[in-house]
């Protein structure tokens, strides 16, 4: 199969987070399975640049032109995310279309975050899939982003979602959120993120104690994530202060981009004032080999996030065989089974995290059992090859007219609501769903519905795929 992956994020140039990591592992795994894979990603310098690695073709694009000038006012109104998504999607479409004309693709995959497929899904006749990672409608309210930018960014992402043939999600939690809070009616296949275990296990010869000055006589508790509120950075001081006071054999190590100044302006001055520099280390942004080396040198991995889907920080810690203390938010219970592959603390509750850290620190057997079970979990169901093959099965099923079975929106919503309501409430909600379905069928007979469909057809030049 000839497959295109549209992802602005792609290492090393633009590999900023989980989406870039996923795209990298997915592209390589698809190529190892014998497929022809071409990645279309962002660039840090102007122009269109071509390269190849491990059987994967990569085209990087950065262009500024009429569209940037047209959207200049969006930047002035602090709608930076929206402007970025529109220009990224347009530039990716132009290059993808040329390559498709030269040699057609069988399927195109893209994340919803970034709206990479927004333009291509409107104007190209090739099957496409969106994989949900972190939709703007679900997470942008956490950030200090103007309402206009949130709304426009959500709109741009929704355009891409609406016009693709296949939807997947990296966790059941996120699929449920998309169905219930975003009203998505198409089936959503749950396909978790995968990791290349042999690549992770490779010894890169990095001595983190020597390179970063980390103490060899301490048990290291490691945090590797962006320094932002969604990742729980605002509750770090409370848990760090109490844990360090109780356990002199412990040191904390933090790595990740400090885009909002949490470390520089709030935490590091506090560390200095309390004389904790020999037990608190901030390493800044690290490349992947350095992160992996830190994981392998640590005893416990910390995930205090407020919202997560299927994060690579957790999957990599599991691959390292680390004991994990995580928030119970979002999709984390799908990765961490409490007391078997880690410990789950209450979301946003520093005291709960301190209690979980205390148990992990004091119980060597628990720490070893959880780490070993986490590694087995990765080897059993989260390898990159297994995940890539699941994606191929879904795409091939659509091409063959024999879709892979998954939950319908109705089944998903009923299950979702059943876990949050009493028996009487569930019956009432089912009746409400049936009533709404009848209302929707009636709406589709009205002139206004037909006018809306005609407008959509006009705005996409009549080329929206069936």
Q: How far apart are CA 75 and CA 380, in angstroms?
A: 46
Q: Is the pLDDT of residue 425 over 70?
A: no
Q: Is the pLDDT of residue 96 over 60?
A: yes
Per CATH, the architecture of 197-381 is what? 3-Layer(aba) Sandwich (3.40)
Q: How far apart are CA 423 and CA 176, in angstroms?
A: 20
Bridge partner residues of 56 (DSSP): 37, 53
Answer yes or no: same fold for 2-194+400-420 and 197-381: yes
The domain locations on the chain are 2-194+400-420, 197-381, 430-458
- The owner of tokens 């982003």 is 145
CA dihedral 15, 141, 256, 175 (to 10 degrees): -60
Supply the mean pLDDT for the chain.
89
Q: How far apart are CA 111 and CA 130, in angstroms?
A: 5
Q: Under CATH, what is the fold of the domain 2-194+400-420?
A: Rossmann fold (3.40.50)
Q: How far apart are CA 192 and CA 309, in angstroms?
A: 9
Query: Residue 37, SS3?
Result: strand
Per-residue pLDDT tens digits for 227-276 = 999 999 999 999 999 999 999 999 999 999 998 899 999 999 999 999 99
Q: How far apart are CA 31 and CA 21, in angstroms?
A: 16
Q: Is the pLDDT of residue 172 over 70?
A: yes
What's the pLDDT score for residue 19? 95
In the DSSP assignment, the letter for residue 229 is G
Q: Select the more confidently predicted residue: 339 or 416.
A: 339
Q: Is the pLDDT of residue 463 over 60?
A: no
Candidate from 148-157, 249-258, 272-281, 297-306 with smallest mean pLDDT: 148-157
Calculate what percentage of the chain has a pLDDT beyond 70. 88
Q: What are phi and psi of 189, to 5 degrees?
A: -85, 130
């Amino acid at each position: 199969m000839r497959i295109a992956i549209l992802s602005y994020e792609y290492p090393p140039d633009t590999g900023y987070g989980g989406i870039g990591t996923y795209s990298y592992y997915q592209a390589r795994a698809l190529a190892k399975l014998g497929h022809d894979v071409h990645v279309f990603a962002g660039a840090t310098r102007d122009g269109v640049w071509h390269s190849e690695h491990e059987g994967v073709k990569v085209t990087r694009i950065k262009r500024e032109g009429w569209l940037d000038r047209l959207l200049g006012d969006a930047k002035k109104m602090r709608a930076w995310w929206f402007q970025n998504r529109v220009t990224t999607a347009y530039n990716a479409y132009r290059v993808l279309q040329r390559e498709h004309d030269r040699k057609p693709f069988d399927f195109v995959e893209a994340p919803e975050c970034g709206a990479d497929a927004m333009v291509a899904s409107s104007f190209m006749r090739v099957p496409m899939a969106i994989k949900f990672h972190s939709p703007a409608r679900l997470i942008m309210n956490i950030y200090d982003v103007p309402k206009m930018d949130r709304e426009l960014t959500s709109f741009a992402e929704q355009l891409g979602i609406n016009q693709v043939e296949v939807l997947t999600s990296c966790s059941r939690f996120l699929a449920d959120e998309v169905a219930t809070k975003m009203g998505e009616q198409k089936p959503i296949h749950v396909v978790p993120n995968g990791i290349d275990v042999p690549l992770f296990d490779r010894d890169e010869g990095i001595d983190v104690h020597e390179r970063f000055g980390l103490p060899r006589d301490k048990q290291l508790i490691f945090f590797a994530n962006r320094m932002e509120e969604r990742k729980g950075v605002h509750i770090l001081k409370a848990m760090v202060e109490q844990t360090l006071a109780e356990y002199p054999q412990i040191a904390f190590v933090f790595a990740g981009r400090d885009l909002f100044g949490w470390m520089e302006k709030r935490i590091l001055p506090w560390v200095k004032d309390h004389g904790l520099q020999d037990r608190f280390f901030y390493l800044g942004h690290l490349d992947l080999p350095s992160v992996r080396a830190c994981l392998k040198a640590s005893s416990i991995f910390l995930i205090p996030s407020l919202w997560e889907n299927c994060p690579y920080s957790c999957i990599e810690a599991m691959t390292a065989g680390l004991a994990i203390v995580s928030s119970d938010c979002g999709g984390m219970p799908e990765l961490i089974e409490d007391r078997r592959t880690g410990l789950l603390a209450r979301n946003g509750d520093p005291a709960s995290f301190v209690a979980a850290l205390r148990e992990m620190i004091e119980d060597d057997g628990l720490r070893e059992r959880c780490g070993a079970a986490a590694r087995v979990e990765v080897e059993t169901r989260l390898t990159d090859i297994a995940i890539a093959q699941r994606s191929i099965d879904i795409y091939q099923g659509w091409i063959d007219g024999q879709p892979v079975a998954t939950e319908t929106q109705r089944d998903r919503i009923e299950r979702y609501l059943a876990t949050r309501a009493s028996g009487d409430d569930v019956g009432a909600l089912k009746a409400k769903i049936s009533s709404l379905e009848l209302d929707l069928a009636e709406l589709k007979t009205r002139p206004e519905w037909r006018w809306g469909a005609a407008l959509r057809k006009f705005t996409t030049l009549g080329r929206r795929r069936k």
